[in-house]
């Protein structure tokens, strides 16, 4: 087990109707003026925004609003929000929504008071030294941004989508009300489940030796996510299943599933698939992050598994109950060819990857980049973005070159 630092300072307020306690919680914590950040209408249509504002009003917490956050939030709104936060002298930023609203709010919190251009934090020209406090009202379980130290922002002018990491941007309080997720469309639910599973897998496939306790947490979370996903796709208002997914989404990205699997001084995982998907949704910001991951992750797995087959065998056994054929135990009378140990491992790993991709597809996720509108002509742009964001080589499970990345993209078309 490698050395690690685990930090999860966020206070989680979880359960039915906790949306109506936002104002009381913020007032008790000493906050007096909030900047509410939200998306393009769903929290307005469902009444969630009005409930939050009523709660703030009842507790004496004044507020201003910034709406219009798009999926894959763009730096222009971060700049606008930081200027608004400074002008209005807010003391907390309060996103109401999913990962896009939360990441935009984190960007605003970072950029407020900074004298340079906000994009400096994502272009690695500046490091985060101060940040307005953040509280979140989560409406889409997916990104885990309510508990993470990361924030991803797009820059359309430069065709980039980049991440910024700092312990300062972990939210102070997160409100998780599973009932808010009852009205999520199936596609958003599925993309969210894919994203949270991907967060766990990035850590599981770090390339570092197994850590029994952490591996059991990781695989258990994925099994629970798969079980709950099957239920909510048929019963969208099943509270217990929605609650499972909401809590899994948080635990998937607060660092718990990577303890001991990271290389000290680096992030706790490989993160190649997230990096490669960011270039996909940078090429077309309309692409949902989780949908892109549903394509990229299996393609990456098929490209790299031979570097550490033992991790894939553990994953297959613990998540899907798939194990290699054992000629000394299994009945092979129906199989004509001889099964060597190498062939048995190959077949078990490929079956594991197939099972994962089949699960994603069963929820309505795509299996190819072509389904997302990405063509071979987009690959050069995505490789340019990878070079800026990741360099000439990246990854810890297996060091990938840009030519490896091109091969993975091409295999996923």
pLDDT value, residue 266: 83
Q: What is the mean pLDDT of residues 324-346?
A: 76
Residues 92 and 215 in one domain: no
Output the CA–CA distances (angstroms, integers) from residue 296 to 142, 313, 360, in the order listed. 17, 20, 12
Residue 2 within any structural domain of the chain: no
Q: Say if residue 102 is in the same domain as residue 248.
A: no
Specify the number of domains making up the chain: 2
Question: Which residue carries 């629970």 as its tokens?
Answer: 224
What CATH number has the domain bearing residue 120? Answer: 3.40.50.1970
Rounded to the nearest 5°, which phi and psi values hold at 39? -90, -135
Report how far apart, in Å, the C-alpha atoms of 185 and of each of 38, 225, 232 are. 18, 17, 11
Same domain, 109 and 53: yes
User: Which of 382, 313, 363, 311 shows the shortest CA–CA distance to 341?
Assistant: 313
Do 62 and 130 have their domain in common? yes
Strand order in the sheet with 92-97: 11-14, 173-176, 135-138, 92-97, 33-38, 62-66
Note whether 395 and 272 are within 8 A (CB): yes
Q: Is residue 4 part of a domain?
A: no
pLDDT of res. 234: 96
* 233 and 169, same domain (yes or no): no
Which of 131, 148, 181 marks a domain boundary? 181
Least confident segment among 9-18, 69-78, 158-167, 331-340: 331-340
Residue 221 lies in a domain: yes
CA distance 288 to 71: 7
Backbone φ/ψ region at 99: left (φ over 0), alpha (ψ -120 to 50), beta:
alpha
> For residue 109, what are its two tokens?
């919190």
What is the pLDDT confidence band of residue 331, given thresholds at 50, 70 and 90? low
For residues 386-394, average pLDDT: 96
Same domain for 210 and 81: no
* pLDDT tens, position by position, 106-146: 999 999 999 999 999 999 999 999 999 999 999 999 999 99
Nearest-CA neighbor of 349 among 377, 320, 369, 375?
320
Which percentage of the chain shows pLDDT scores above 70? 97
Q: Which two tokens stand for residue 351?
A: 């079956």
Rounded to whole angstroms, the Cα distance separating 50 from 52 reads 5
Report the C-alpha gap between 35 and 88 in whole angstroms. Answer: 8
Q: Over 70: is that where the pLDDT of 334 sits?
A: no
338 CB neighbour count, 10 Å cutoff: 8
Give the pLDDT mean for 44-52.
96
Please tell me whether residues 146 and 100 are part of one structural domain. yes
* Out of 27-41, 146-160, 197-211, 323-337, least confident range: 323-337
Residues 151 and 210 placed together within one structural domain of the fold:
no
The verdict on 47 and 191 lying in the same domain is no
pLDDT, average across residues 160-166: 95
Is there a single domain that holds both residue 158 and residue 248? Answer: no
Residue 152 included in any domain: yes
pLDDT of 1 above 80: yes
Bridge-partner residues for 33, per DSSP? 62
66: containing domain:
11-181
Question: Model-level pTM?
Answer: 0.95
Q: What CA–CA distance (Å, rounded) separates 36 from 214?
A: 36
**Pick from 135, 162, 181: which residue ends a domain?**
181
Does a structural domain hold residue 5? no
Mean per-residue pLDDT for 4-19?
94
CATH of the domain at 266: 1.20.1090.10
On whether residue 379 sits in a domain, the answer given is yes
Decide if pLDDT at 312 tops 80: yes
Our CA angle for 229, 249, 208, nearest 5°, is 105
Asked whether residue 16 is assigned to any structural domain, the reply reads: yes
Task: State the pLDDT confidence band at 325, using cuts at 50, 70 and 90.
Answer: confident
Evaluate whether residue 1 is within a structural domain.
no
- Tell me: do 208 and 176 sit in the same domain: no
How far, in Å, CA of 299 to CA of 243, rounded?
30
Q: What is the mean pLDDT of residues 359-374?
A: 98
Which tokens belong to 312?
A: 């894939």
Q: Are residues 40 and 73 in the same domain?
A: yes
Q: Write down which residue in 135, 157, 181 finishes a domain.
A: 181
């Amino acid at each position: 087990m490698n050395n690690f630092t685990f930090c999860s300072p966020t206070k989680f307020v979880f359960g039915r109707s906790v949306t109506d306690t936002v104002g009381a919680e913020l007032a008790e914590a000493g906050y007096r003026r909030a900047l509410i950040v939200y998306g393009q209408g769903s929290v307005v249509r469902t009444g969630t925004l009005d409930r939050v504002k009523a709660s703030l009003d009842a507790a004496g917490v004044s507020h201003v609003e910034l709406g219009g956050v798009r999926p894959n939030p763009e730096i222009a709104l971060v700049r606008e929000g930081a200027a608004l936060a400074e002008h209005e002298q807010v003391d907390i930023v309060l996103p109401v929504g999913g990962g896009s609203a939360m990441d935009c709010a984190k960007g605003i919190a970072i950029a407020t008071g900074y004298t340079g251009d906000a994009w400096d934090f994502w272009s690695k020209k500046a490091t985060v030294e101060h940040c307005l406090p953040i509280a979140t009202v989560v409406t889409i379980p997916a990104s885990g941004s309510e508990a993470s130290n990361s924030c991803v922002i797009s820059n359309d002018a430069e065709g980039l989508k980049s991440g910024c990491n700092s312990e300062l941007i972990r939210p102070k309080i997160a409100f998780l009300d599973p009932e808010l997720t009852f009205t999520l469309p199936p596609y958003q639910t599925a993309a969210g489940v894919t994203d949270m599973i991907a967060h766990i897998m990035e850590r599981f496939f770090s390339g570092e030796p197994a850590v029994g306790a952490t591996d059991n947490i990781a695989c258990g979370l994925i099994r629970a996510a798969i079980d709950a996903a099957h239920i909510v796709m048929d019963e969208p208002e099943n509270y217990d299943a929605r609650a499972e997914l909401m809590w899994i989404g948080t635990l998937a990205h607060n660092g718990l599933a990577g303890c001991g699997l990271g290389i000290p001084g680096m992030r706790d995982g490989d993160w190649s698939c997230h990096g490669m998907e960011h270039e996909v949704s940078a090429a077309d910001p309309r692409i949902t992050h989780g949908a892109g991951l549903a394509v990229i992750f299996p393609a990456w797995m098929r490209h790299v598994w031979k570097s550490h087959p033992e991790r894939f065998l553990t994953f297959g056994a613990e998540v899907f109950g798939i194990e290699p054929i054992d000629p000394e135990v299994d009945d092979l009378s129906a199989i004509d060819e001889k099964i060597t140990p190498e062939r048995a491992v190959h077949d078990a790993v490929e079956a594991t990857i197939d099972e994962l991709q089949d699960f994603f597809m069963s929820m309505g996720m795509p299996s190819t980049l072509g389904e997302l509108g990405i063509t071979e002509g987009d690959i050069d742009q995505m490789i340019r973005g990878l070079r800026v964001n990741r360099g000439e080589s990246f990854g810890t499970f297996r060091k990938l070159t840009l030519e490896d990345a091109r091969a993975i993209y091409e295999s996923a078309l």
